[in-house]
Structures are given as C-alpha cells and as structure tokens.
C-alpha cells in the first residue's frame, strides 16, 4: 500500500480549471486500478492533496436544490461570481478569496475502505487545527462539516465538506473559512440548511487577517497523523 501523499498548492485558480485537473488525476488513479484488476499488473496507485483558493464561485452538489441559490445569472455576474453544478455530494456552497480549499484525491485502499471514516477524519483534521487557535469546534449530528457552538442558537458553520468517491478513490473535499468575505454566503442557503450562520476564523479570533500559510501547515500536520501518511511536498 502506498501511503505517500503528494501535496501541491495550486495558489489562486479558476474553479472549472481546478475541477478538470482533479478529474484528470482521479481518472489516472482509477485507470491504474482497473489495469491492476484486469491484468494483475501490480501497479502502485498515487495519492494527492491539493490546496487551492478560488475566485468567487457557487457550486451545487448532485443532490442539491437549485432554489438554494438566491441569485440569477445577472446578479451572479454583478457580484463577479460563477456557478457550477458538480458531481460531489452535498448541496450548495460558496468558494472564494480567504478560504482554504483542500482536495484530497486518495486511493482509500492504500489506507482504509470506509467513506464514513474518511469524512470523520477530515472533520477531525479541521477540529484539531481550530483547537490550536483556541476554538472548540465540533461536528453537528446529521450535518457533514465543522461547526462552532453546536446545539446552541448561535451555531455557525466554519468548514463545509463534500466528496465524491468511486472504486475507493476520492475527490473534492473541504472548504475552511479563514479570511472569507461572509457577505457572499448571504446569496445562498448554505448546504441547504436554513437558520444557521456561517463564520470565518479571522472573525472568531477578532483579527483582520489570519496567516493562511500557517493554517495550511497545521492542517497538513494533523492530516498526516490521522491518515498515518507520508507527505511529499511538490513545488
């Protein structure tokens, strides 16, 4: 089993361009697995972890409700935002500047074959990272992602998640609000959940800006431990 994960920071990149890149990596891993099964080739499958920041964009998961987007095409254009229906789970979410997006593209057969465990470990990575900033983050029953003040009238989501998996290969991932413009969430019903707020790390800490590079390092540290992986940092 190959437990090495190639880590790459794509910087700021268009959503569709990144999605296409994910799909290409995903397909390469799937193709290798098919070849191994059909030809007993014994080829090693690769694992990847992509960091990226997207320009303003709204994405709707395959089971999402279009009515949760509160803007029409003209209003989207006025806000400098784009919109895509995509092939992950979950409903609607927003990506934009000041948000750390992570796309692990893993062959889970290199680690464990349990999607539920995979999602819980991604949540745990976020929870442990936020605890380093003094925040008591938690899961909310029946709602994938990471929240603050769960079970109170002040519950607010700080990290959204949505994944796709086929033949135990994952894609898509998480979006952690670090220095996000929360006004853009007013244009959707986030994840299709009414009556709950969204927050960002800088808001919770009362800072103008949080060091995103530092947050990424903390995320990778916890990810490596939780998945018992080796990280290969790519330029």
What is the 8-class DSSP label of residue 72?
Answer: -
> Is residue 48 annotated as involved in ligand binding?
no
What is the pLDDT, as a whole number, of residue 191?
A: 56
Question: Is a pLDDT exceeding 70 seen at residue 36?
Answer: yes
Structure confidence by residue, pLDDT tens digits, 100-128:
999 999 999 999 999 999 999 999 999 99
CA–CA gap between residue 168 and residue 184 (Å, rounded)? 34
Verify whether residue 159 is a known catalytic residue.
Answer: no
What dotted CATH number matches 4-233? 3.30.930.10
Among 105, 159, 191, 201, the one annotated catalytic: 191
Rounded mean pLDDT, 15-40: 95
| pLDDT the model gives residue 143 | 83
pTM of the model: 0.94
- Any binding-site annotation on 93? yes
Q: Is the pLDDT of residue 196 over 90?
A: no
**pLDDT value for 24:** 97
Arithmetic mean of pLDDT, 222-227: 98
Query: What local confidence, expressed as pLDDT, does residue 192 receive?
Result: 55
> What's the rounded mean pLDDT across residues 27-48?
93
Instruction: Give the chain's mean pLDDT.
Output: 93
Is 133 a known ligand-binding residue? Answer: no
The mean pLDDT value for 34-56 works out to 94
Share of the chain above pLDDT 90, in %: 77
Task: For 202-218, give one letter per residue: b (16+ CB within 10 A) or e.
Answer: bbbeeeeebebeebbeb
Task: List the chain domain ranges.
Answer: 4-233
pLDDT surpasses 80 at 235: no
- pLDDT for 190 beyond 80: no
Alpha-carbon Rg for the chain in angstroms: 18
| 226: Cβ contacts below 8 Å, ≥ 6 apart | 121, 124, 125
- Annotated binding-site residue? 142: no
């Amino acid at each position: 089993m190959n437990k090495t994960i190639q880590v790459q920071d794509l910087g700021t990149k268009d959503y569709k361009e990144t999605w296409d890149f994910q799909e290409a990596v995903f397909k390469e891993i799937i193709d290798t697995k098919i070849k191994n099964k059909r030809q007993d080739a014994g080829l090693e499958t690769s694992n990847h972890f992509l960091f990226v920041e997207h320009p303003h964009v709204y994405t709707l998961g395959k089971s999402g409700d279009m009515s949760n987007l509160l803007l029409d095409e003209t209003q989207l254009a006025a806000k400098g935002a784009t919109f895509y229906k995509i092939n992950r789970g979950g409903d609607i979410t927003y990506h934009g500047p000041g948000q750390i997006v992570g796309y692990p593209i893993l062959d889970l057969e290199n680690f464990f074959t349990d999607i539920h465990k995979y999602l819980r470990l991604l949540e745990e990575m976020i929870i442990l990272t936020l605890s380093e900033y003094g925040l008591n983050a938690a899961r909310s029953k029946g709602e994938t992602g990471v929240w603050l003040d769960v079970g109170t009238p002040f519950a607010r989501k700080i990290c959204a998640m949505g994944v796709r998996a086929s033949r135990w290969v994952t894609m898509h991932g998480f979006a952690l609000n670090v220095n996000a413009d929360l006004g853009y969430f007013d244009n959707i019903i986030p994840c299709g959940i009414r009556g709950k707020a969204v927050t960002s790390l800088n808001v919770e800490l009362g800072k103008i800006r949080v060091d995103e590079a530092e947050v990424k390092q903390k995320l990778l540290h916890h990810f490596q431990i939780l998945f018992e992986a080796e990280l290969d940092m790519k330029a």
